[in-house]
Each structure stands twice: as C-alpha cells, then as structure tokens.
Amino acid sequence: MQYAKMFLTIAVLVMVCITCGCARTEGNVQRYGCVIGVRQDRIEDYKKIHAEVWPGVLALLRECNIRNYSIYLGEVAPDQYYLFSYFEYAGDDFEKDMEKMKADPTTQKWWELCDPMQSPVPTRREGEWWHVMEEVFYTD
Amino acid sequence: MQYAKMFLTIAVLVMVCITCGCARTEGNVQRYGCVIGVRQDRIEDYKKIHAEVWPGVLALLRECNIRNYSIYLGEVAPDQYYLFSYFEYAGDDFEKDMEKMKADPTTQKWWELCDPMQSPVPTRREGEWWHVMEEVFYTD
C-alpha cells in the first residue's frame, strides 16, 4: 500500500511537471532574436492585423514548437522603424518545423499579407527574411 | 484515509506547480523589448564583457525580479549596429526595482563600463537610456 501511494505521488509529480511548463526552463528551449524593417506607411496596418492574428496561424506556430513569441516596434532614428521579434523554440528540429510552416497554405496567405509591410535588412543572410541576430548575453 | 490521500495529492500538485515554473506563464510577468545603438569600434569589447558579466550585477538583476534576459546584436544596415534586449519582469513594482538597481554601486560601475560602448537612439523618451519599444504581438 505504501508503494502504491509512493507510485501515485511520483506519477502525479511527473504529470504536473509536464503540463505546468517545466519544458520552458533554460536548456530545453532555443531563444531567437530577429529584426526586420517595417514600412512607415504600413505600421498601422501591421499593428492592426497583429492585434488579431488568424487562429490557424497561431495554432501552427504552437504546433511548430514556437513559444513565448513577442514582436516589438522600435523607431531607432526619426522615421526609421524596425520590428524586433523574440521567441523560444521548444522542439528538436527547427529546420523541419520551419519547412512545415512554409508548406502551410494559411501561413502562406498570412505572409502574403505581412511581407509587403516589411522591408528586410540589407545585411541579412541568404535565404533570410527576418534577420536572425547574434545573442551576446543571457541570464535567467 | 481517502481524504488524507486527496489532501496529500492536492498539496503535492500545488507545491510542484510553484517550484517547477508556473509563475513564468503569461499574466504573471511583464515583457520588455528595448533597443540601443552600439559603437562599431566597441562591439568586441561589449561582447567580451557580456560573456562574463560580474556576479554582483547578475545577482542584483535577479533580486530586482528581472528574468529570462537576452541581448541580441543586429546589423540593420552596413556598419549600423543595434543591441536589442528582451526580458521579463516578475515583480510587482518595476519602478521601485529599477531605483534599487540605480542605487547599487556594483551596477553603477558596470554601467560606467557599458555606457561609452552604447549610443542611445535619438528617438528615445526623456529619462531613457535603452529605448523601451512597443509590443505589437504576443502569443505563447
């Protein structure tokens, strides 16, 4: 009976650990910081559509292991605007998940809407739209 | 006896929830995205000191409820570099905690080291060093 109780307690511990977010601790996620320009005349449109992103787009982000994803708008010089994104990748094959996103018709339509509002930085790597930046510091 | 078991299970659930990171879910933290320029001739110095930030600085950040703090380096145009920071504030009085940081001698010395390497954006608000950006999207 004592063993049964101990087993039950351990099982509950494991279950709760999984469901309540242990996966979001350092070591289990890869952090990404990205940057892209935004056209000044499309900022309001960009903010508007991002206040109500299509449910299909959000669902796929989650399915593709993207977590804790924010986008910030920054004016770094008069009339010079950039979008800065931060997200955490909780899966184990980033490239495969990105391919899955690229292949999704809803996400493709979403990007067709967003892309003309953005202006990729000229310093980006080949194949990049958002430019992935270098992490120079981290603490938790 | 059944009640005792139920009570034990609930107590374990609550304890595990608290210790394994439920506090880091949306609603319990405020997210911040900030930007600042970095002098091109000081980038290597900035990276070097940020690879080994003084323990006193890190300890105070934690004490002041700053969590999950990253800094990224981005070249947005040829020879035009910015630092983007993302962090989560887990306390309940951000201004008070920031005052505490400003008053700390170790942090002051650290900032004396960092400040000449940085070049604040001309579009920042009064009193800002790092410019706090607007969050335009979030999903978890």
Cross-chain CB nearest to B84 (options A53, A123, A133): A133
- Please report whether residue A138 resides in a domain: no
What integer best gives the mean pLDDT of chain A?
88
For position A28, what pLDDT does the model report? Answer: 83
Q: Kindly state the tokens that stand for B16.
A: 């595990």
By C-alpha distance, the chain A residue nearest B31 is A70
Q: What is the ipTM of this complex?
A: 0.81
Instruction: For residue range A58-70, list pLDDT tens digits in order.
Output: 999 999 999 999 9
**Residue showing tokens 């977010």:** A21
Instruction: For residue range B34-47, list pLDDT tens digits in order.
Output: 999 999 999 999 99
> How many independent structural domains does chain A possess?
1
Give the whole-angstrom CA distance, residue A121 versus residue A103. 24
Cross-chain CB nearest to B67 (options A31, A76, A140): A140
Q: What is the mean pLDDT of residues B127-140?
A: 97
- Please report whether residue A125 resides in a domain: yes
Cβ distance A77 to B121 less than 8 Å, yes or no, reads: yes
Which run of H or of E encompasses B57? Answer: helix B55-63
Range of the domain at B106: 2-17+26-133
**Residue showing tokens 């960009």:** A46
CA dihedral B96, B99, B100, B105 (to 10 degrees): 180
Q: Kindly state the tokens that stand for A69.
A: 């994803």
Q: What ranges in chain A are assigned the alpha helix state H? A: 2-19, 43-51, 55-63, 94-102, 105-114
Q: Is the pLDDT of residue A23 over 70?
A: no
**B56: domain CATH number?**
3.30.70.100
- Please report whether residue A139 resides in a domain: no
Query: Percent of chain B having pLDDT more than 90?
Result: 80
- Please report whether residue A68 resides in a domain: yes
For position B28, what pLDDT does the model report? Answer: 83
Minimal CA–CA distance to B34: which of B80, B61, B69? B69
- Cβ atoms of A30 and A88 within 8 Å: the answer is yes
pLDDT band at B11 (very low <50, low <70, confident <90, very high): low
Q: Is the pTM of this model over 0.90?
A: no
Cβ distance A22 to B20 less than 8 Å, yes or no, reads: yes
pLDDT band at A26 (very low <50, low <70, confident <90, very high): very low
- Please report whether residue B128 resides in a domain: yes
- Please report whether residue B139 resides in a domain: no
Q: Which residues of A touch B12 (CB under 8 A)?
A: 9, 12-13, 16
Which run of H or of E encompasses B30? Answer: strand B30-38
Q: Which residues of B touch A62 (CB under 8 A)?
A: 139
- Please report whether residue B111 resides in a domain: yes
